[in-house]
Amino acid sequence: MFLFFNIFSWFIHRSGRSGRCGREGKSLLFLTPNQDGYITFLQKYEKISLNELKIPNLTAVKAEQLRQKIIKMASKDRLILERGTSAFVSFIESYLRHDCSVVCPFKELDVVGHAHSYGLLRLPKMKELKGLDLTSFKRSNIDTAIIKFKDKNREKQRQMKLVELRKNENKIHKSTDLSNKRTQEKEKTTKKRKMNEDEDKISWEETANDFALLKKIRRGRVRKKDIDLLI
């Protein structure tokens, strides 16, 4: 098993099912060093002991060679690419839901190491990965958008979906451009109207001042030398 079950009792049940009719059964569970707490948990609360299996020929170089083989396979067939990505996403989501989060917290999980083990060319965009340090991930230079399905029917369907997607994107862009144009025209009209209103306001204020001055002149409240200065 690549991942222990969400509920630890399921793991015990499945392990027991590996041996039937009095025969001895065996089960293999892959754990990373930061998941050793799960072994202690089973020993303490379920009285189950796990024996470590030594693989002497396993090295970092061989692990990298295997990763490159998976990447090569994924780069030649989109089905492998998508299934690998989907499996990784399911793994992360499942890990966050298991009932041993205290024993094996997600923050201690080697996310990059697991991504490499799935042979991912790119890390998928997931809210669960937000805030994590993923700088050590070895991102491939291969453009995943051009990777095709080996199955011709699958690839034909994909191309049809891409054409439809581009059409919808063009419609959205045109709609957005039209909306922006209308907004700009509305802002321009509003600005012009405000300028006209300001000009009218100034004109009315000047007219009102002229009438007030005219009344004062008629009533003789303004001296002649002041009139010359005001006009």
pLDDT at 148: 95
Write the pLDDT tens digit of every residue in 61-77: 999 999 999 999 999 99
pLDDT at 12: 72
What are the tokens at 196?
């006209």
Higher pLDDT, 8 or 155: 155
Write the pLDDT tens digit of every residue in 149-178: 999 999 999 999 989 888 887 767 666 666
Distance CA 68, CA 2 (A): 20
For residue 37, how many C-alpha atoms fall within 13 Å in the half-sphere facing its CB?
Answer: 11
Q: How confident is the model at residue 87 (pLDDT cuts 50, 70, 90)?
A: very high
Average pLDDT, the chain: 81
Q: Are 114 and 82 in contact (CB under 8 A)?
A: no
pLDDT at 8: 66
Domain boundaries of the chain, sorted by first residue: 24-150, 151-230
User: Does residue 205 register a pLDDT over 70?
Assistant: no
Average pLDDT for 130-159: 93
Q: Which residue has the tokens 């993923």?
A: 134
User: Does residue 229 register a pLDDT over 70?
Assistant: no
pLDDT at 85: 96
Least confident of 42-51, 104-113, 181-190: 181-190
pLDDT at 61: 92
Q: How confident is the model at residue 118 (pLDDT cuts 50, 70, 90)?
A: very high
Which of 47-51, 156-160, 206-210 is modeled with the greatest confidence?
Answer: 156-160
* Full-model pTM: 0.66
* SS3 assignment for the chain: CCCCCCCHHHHHHHHHHCCCCCCCCCCCCCCCHHHHHHHHHHHHHCCCCCCCCCCCCCCHHHHHHHHHHHHHHHHHCHHHHHHHHHHHHHHHHHHHHCCCCCCCCHHHCCHHHHHHHCCCCCCCCCHHHCCCCCCCCCCCCCCHHHCCCCCHHHHHHHHHHHHHHHHHHHHHHHHHHHHHHHHHHHHHHHHHHHHHHHHHHHHHHHHHHHHHHHHHHHCCCCCHHHHHHHC
Least confident of 24-33, 119-128, 213-222: 213-222
What are the tokens at 43?
């020993």
User: Does residue 23 register a pLDDT over 90?
Assistant: no
